[in-house]
Structure 1
Amino acid sequence: MDFSVFNFESSLQEGLDAMGFEKPTPIQEKAIPVIIQNRDLIACAQTGTGKTAAFILPVLNKISKSGSSSLNTLILAPTRELAIQIDQQIQGFAYFLGISSIPVYGGGDGIVWEQQKKALETGAEIVVATPGRLIALLAGGKIDLSSLEHLILDEADRMLDMGFSDDILKIINYLPKNRQTVLFSATMPPKIRQFSMKILQNPEEISIALGKTAEGVTQSFYSVYDGQKEDLVTNILSQKDYEAVIIFASTKEKVKSLHKVLRKKFEVEAFHSDLEQVEREKIMSNFKNKTLKILVGTDIISRGIDVVGIELVINFDTPGDPEDYVHRVGRTARADMEGEAITFVNPKDQPKFRRIEELIGMEINQLELPEGFEKGPGYSREDKRSRNDKPKFQKKKGGSKFKKRGSDFSKKTNPSEKFQPKASQNESKTNDPKPSRPASGKFSNRKNVID
């Protein structure tokens, strides 16, 4: 299949040809016809699958056919970076169409605020906004959404995680009821389904390969202690002159700390929420044009940045949510390219890493620590356990209310021992023999079992 099957307007097809778009991705193949048919849609597709074009292209085609110049489409995104990226993609696709878009986001100075208000007053067919800044504009009467035909929520799961659900519902109160609503989410937890029922009407549902990483990614991990991580990062970055690397840490404090260490030997920048918007835009621009080669950040950059050619992703900390791993790894091997993802797993994070392997359906290759490093902690997949493996409690008649399987409490008490007198206070407790665990049983050969 190629894009000609959608019968796009010739000017839009010309733009696709100029940008080198030949065949639609699976999410584009399934979502575009639904949006063209004006059906509400809830679509689940992970980052890097081409979902942005899946909702932009049919909307641009509709606007081009109608010839309308009024505000037609509102796209909501969780972060400034994603809003800017979507706006840039719209500009690329609409180059031959004469359709304009405006990004509306917070974090800038007064000049940016005035520019956004002026642009809205001038008019545009598409507005791409973060919820907080849009509410401020609506409250000030600076934007009229009465002519809106399409509402699109991108990265809906992230917006709900960031606490935007109430803001989104407030925005919807300003919108016409007769509209098409499209919701894209990288994951589909119950809260997303419940939320979608409030804002969508009989939606079509699409799900594309949730939890699968790109085929071009070589994935591996090191089992390490926390004290070995900084030296290991330095060692990895010293092995090759990488063109583009992203290092993910769990908190902005760790990002700042790791940045201080790495900048002594490498050209590296830290990307986190404490930076001003101007600084964040400059860093991201330098990273995209490859004048900056190494970026250290939190999960704020695991979604919403589209940088082709990232060779290496390093998870300095194992992500707590397995789906966050998929998003992080999705930064590399984009556009059918190849890439590498390396994760550092400390003893505490081993259960998290096993859940990641379960989600992606594969065992990730373990690497030996480089020469000169002390041996890291052991890693075993055999101490995974299902819910059915957890110790169970049973009621028993008399004595203790519960007894625990697989432990000394489950042993039958000898009747002759049942009424033994308590030791006197003068008797040393250290002389009492400690009960020994059974030599065999369900957990006898297991390590790191957490009750």
Structure 2
Amino acid sequence: MTFQDFNFNEQLLEGVLSMGYTKATPIQEMTIPVIMNGDDLIACAQTGTGKTASYLLPVLNFIANANTHQTTALVLAPTRELAQQIDQQVEGLAYFTGISSQAVFGGGDGMAYEQQRRGIQNSVNIIIATPGRLIAHLTSGVLKFNHITHLVLDEADRMLDMGFSDDIMRIISYLPKKRQTLLFSATMPGRIRNLAKAILTDPQQINIAISQPAAGIDQQVYRLHDGQKTPLLKMLLKDGGYLSSIIFASRKEIVKSLYKELKQAHLNVAAFHSDLQQNEREEILLRFKNKQLPVIIGTDALSRGIDVEGIDLVINYDVPGDAEDYVHRIGRTARAATTGTAITFVNDRDLKKLKSIEQLISREVAQKELPEELKGIEHVAQERPHGGGRNDQRRRLSRYKGNKPRPAAN
């Protein structure tokens, strides 16, 4: 199915074609007609399937045909990076329509807040916002949502994971009850279904390839202990021939530590974490997107907050705690029908997490043999995320050979 088949507004179609869009993805084929028909929708689709365009295009089509100069569409997103990416996609798709948009998010300085406030006061057609900063503008009285016809919740599961449930309901209290509401989520737990019941009216439901990694991803596992992780990481980055890589770690402290070690190994790398200023985060993502930066290290905030084509390697330095997060992490590679490699480091503590991942994706992940020069590296016990107590401290300080720790004293 091509984009000409949707009978979009002529100026909108011109923007779509100029961006290189030709054939619709399955999620776009299924959702666009439903949204254009005016129905509420709950859609479940994995990352990298084209879901952003699947809701933006029909909303843009509605605005273009209505020829309105009011704020009629609101898109809620969990992170500033995703909000910015959606805003950029609006700018590209709507280039020939005159439709305006404003990304609203926290983390910037007073100048950024003022710029957002001015954009809001100019009655842009679409606001793309993170919940927390949007509430700040709502309570200030500068923002009115009397004319909203479309509400989109993108990555709703992530927003609930981040504790935005009350904020979402508070925002919705400012909106007209008569509107079209679209909820997009990568997973469909009970909390999402309850949210859908509360805010949607007789929704259509669409499920596309739930929780399945793209076929083009070469998934690999290395069984190792913590002391072998960083040496293996350096080998893969230096000798693997990869041009664009993302490394995921469980905590920002690990991100910072890895950054220092990789810089000392003369690798061109940047750390992406919440302690950075907004302009620093934007610069890192821009350099990475423009292929000026080959390696970026981050936490799960990157797994849904970055949309860059041509990433050929994803490394899970730590196994994610949630199997769904594994799918989102490795979904950064092999996007748009390309191929890529996803490598996960698994120690003894994380074997249960690996089993959960394999159950979710309905397959075993191929195990790779460690390079010989790494097999003799001594194992130094590392702190567990929730460890505590004097015995735990003794165990963390112990040094031992091989993969089995000394038994703890009773």
The answer to whether TM tops 0.5 is yes
Provide the C-alpha distance between the structure 2 equivalents of 1:117 and 1:20, rounded to a whole number of angstroms.
33
Q: Cα gap change, 1:145/1:81 in structure 2, threshold over 3 Å: closer, same or farther?
A: same
Alignment of 1:208-287 (within 5 A): 208-264=208-264, 265-287=266-288
The 10-residue stretch of structure 1 (79-88 or 272-281) with the greater mean CA deviation from structure 2: 272-281
Q: What's the CA shift string for 1:70-106, capped at 9, x where partnerless?
A: 1110000010000000000000000011101000011
Which amino acid is 1:292 matched to?
Answer: L
Which amino acid is 2:320 matched to?
Answer: P
Alignment-derived partner of residue 357 in structure 2: 356
Alignment of 1:319-330 (within 5 A): 319-330=320-331
Structure (1 or 2) with the larger CA radius of gyration: 1
Alignment-derived partner of residue 397 in structure 2: none
Alignment-derived partner of residue 64 in structure 1: 64
Which amino acid is 1:364 matched to?
Answer: V
Once the two structures are TM-superposed, the CA of residue 374 in structure 1 deviates from its matched residue by 1.3
Alignment-derived partner of residue 406 in structure 1: none
Alignment-derived partner of residue 184 in structure 2: 184
Provide the C-alpha distance between the structure 1 equivalents of 2:57 and 2:120, rounded to a whole number of angstroms.
22
Provide the C-alpha distance between the structure 1 equivalents of 2:214 and 2:171, rounded to a whole number of angstroms.
35
Once the two structures are TM-superposed, the CA of residue 371 in structure 1 deviates from its matched residue by 2.3
Once the two structures are TM-superposed, the CA of residue 241 in structure 1 deviates from its matched residue by 4.1
Are 1:315 and 2:313 an aligned pair?
no
Moved over 3 A (4+): none
Alignment-derived partner of residue 345 in structure 2: 344
Once the two structures are TM-superposed, the CA of residue 361 in structure 1 deviates from its matched residue by 1.3
Once the two structures are TM-superposed, the CA of residue 376 in structure 1 deviates from its matched residue by 9.3
Provide the C-alpha distance between the structure 2 equivalents of 1:36 and 1:44, rounded to a whole number of angstroms.
18
Provide the C-alpha distance between the structure 2 equivalents of 1:343 and 1:237, rounded to a whole number of angstroms.
14
Alignment-derived partner of residue 19 in structure 2: 19
Alignment-derived partner of residue 300 in structure 2: 299
Alignment of 1:126-205 (within 5 A): 126-205=126-205
Q: What's the CA shift string for 1:311-356, capped at 9, x where partnerless?
A: 1000001111111010001000111111100000001101110111
Once the two structures are TM-superposed, the CA of residue 365 in structure 1 deviates from its matched residue by 0.8
Which amino acid is 1:325 matched to?
Answer: Y
* Counterpart secondary structure, 1:270: strand
Say whether the 8 Å CA contact 2:186–2:211 is kept in structure 1. Answer: no
Say whether the 8 Å CA contact 2:77–2:155 is kept in structure 1. Answer: yes
Say whether the 8 Å CA contact 1:248–1:298 is kept in structure 2. Answer: yes
* Counterpart secondary structure, 1:74: strand
Which amino acid is 1:176 matched to?
Answer: P
Say whether the 8 Å CA contact 1:78–1:130 is kept in structure 2. Answer: yes
Q: What's the CA shift string for 1:13-37, capped at 9, x where partnerless?
A: 1111111111111111111111101
* Counterpart secondary structure, 2:284: helix
Are 1:372 and 2:390 an aligned pair?
no
Would you tell me which structure has more helix in proportion to its own residues? 2
TM-score (norm 2): 0.90
Alignment-derived partner of residue 395 in structure 1: none
* Counterpart secondary structure, 1:169: helix
Alignment-derived partner of residue 423 in structure 1: none
Provide the C-alpha distance between the structure 2 equivalents of 1:170 and 1:66, rounded to a whole number of angstroms.
28
Provide the C-alpha distance between the structure 1 equivalents of 2:358 and 2:83, rounded to a whole number of angstroms.
32
* Counterpart secondary structure, 1:303: helix
Provide the C-alpha distance between the structure 1 equivalents of 2:227 and 2:373, rounded to a whole number of angstroms.
14
Say whether the 8 Å CA contact 1:225–1:376 is kept in structure 2. Answer: no
* Counterpart secondary structure, 2:188: coil
* Counterpart secondary structure, 2:304: coil
Once the two structures are TM-superposed, the CA of residue 242 in structure 1 deviates from its matched residue by 2.6
Instruction: Kindly report the root-mean-square deviation, in angstroms, between the aligned alpha carbons of the 2 structures.
Output: 1.2
Once the two structures are TM-superposed, the CA of residue 278 in structure 1 deviates from its matched residue by 1.2
* Counterpart secondary structure, 2:221: strand
Once the two structures are TM-superposed, the CA of residue 247 in structure 1 deviates from its matched residue by 0.3
Provide the C-alpha distance between the structure 1 equivalents of 2:12 and 2:118, rounded to a whole number of angstroms.
28
* Counterpart secondary structure, 2:370: coil
Once the two structures are TM-superposed, the CA of residue 181 in structure 1 deviates from its matched residue by 0.4
Structure ranking higher on relative contact order (CA contacts 8 Å, 6+ apart): 2
Say whether the 8 Å CA contact 1:223–1:376 is kept in structure 2. Answer: no
Residue identity (%): 57
Which amino acid is 1:317 matched to?
Answer: D
* Counterpart secondary structure, 1:263: helix
Which amino acid is 1:2 matched to?
Answer: T
Provide the C-alpha distance between the structure 2 equivalents of 1:121 and 1:14, rounded to a whole number of angstroms.
29
* Counterpart secondary structure, 1:98: coil
Say whether the 8 Å CA contact 2:271–2:297 is kept in structure 1. Answer: yes
Say whether the 8 Å CA contact 2:155–2:186 is kept in structure 1. Answer: yes
* Counterpart secondary structure, 2:167: helix
Say whether the 8 Å CA contact 2:77–2:83 is kept in structure 1. Answer: yes
Once the two structures are TM-superposed, the CA of residue 119 in structure 1 deviates from its matched residue by 1.1
TM-score (norm 1): 0.82
Provide the C-alpha distance between the structure 2 equivalents of 1:308 and 1:58, rounded to a whole number of angstroms.
24
Provide the C-alpha distance between the structure 1 equivalents of 2:309 and 2:377, rounded to a whole number of angstroms.
34
Which amino acid is 1:316 matched to?
Answer: Y
Say whether the 8 Å CA contact 1:250–1:299 is kept in structure 2. Answer: yes
Alignment-derived partner of residue 418 in structure 1: none
* Counterpart secondary structure, 2:341: strand
Say whether the 8 Å CA contact 1:224–1:376 is kept in structure 2. Answer: no
Provide the C-alpha distance between the structure 2 equivalents of 1:374 and 1:335, rounded to a whole number of angstroms.
37
Alignment-derived partner of residue 52 in structure 2: 52
* Counterpart secondary structure, 2:374: coil
Which amino acid is 1:336 matched to?
Answer: A
Once the two structures are TM-superposed, the CA of residue 53 in structure 1 deviates from its matched residue by 0.2
Which amino acid is 2:284 matched to?
Answer: I
Once the two structures are TM-superposed, the CA of residue 250 in structure 1 deviates from its matched residue by 0.5
Which amino acid is 1:272 matched to?
Answer: H
Unaligned runs of 5+ in 1: 378-451
Q: What's the CA shift string for 1:172-227, capped at 9, x where partnerless?
A: 11100000000000111001101111111111111110111111111111000011
Alignment-derived partner of residue 331 in structure 1: 332
Q: What's the CA shift string for 1:122-152, capped at 9, x where partnerless?
A: 2210000010111010101111100010000
Provide the C-alpha distance between the structure 2 equivalents of 1:272 and 1:189, rounded to a whole number of angstroms.
27
* Counterpart secondary structure, 1:369: coil
Once the two structures are TM-superposed, the CA of residue 3 in structure 1 deviates from its matched residue by 1.4
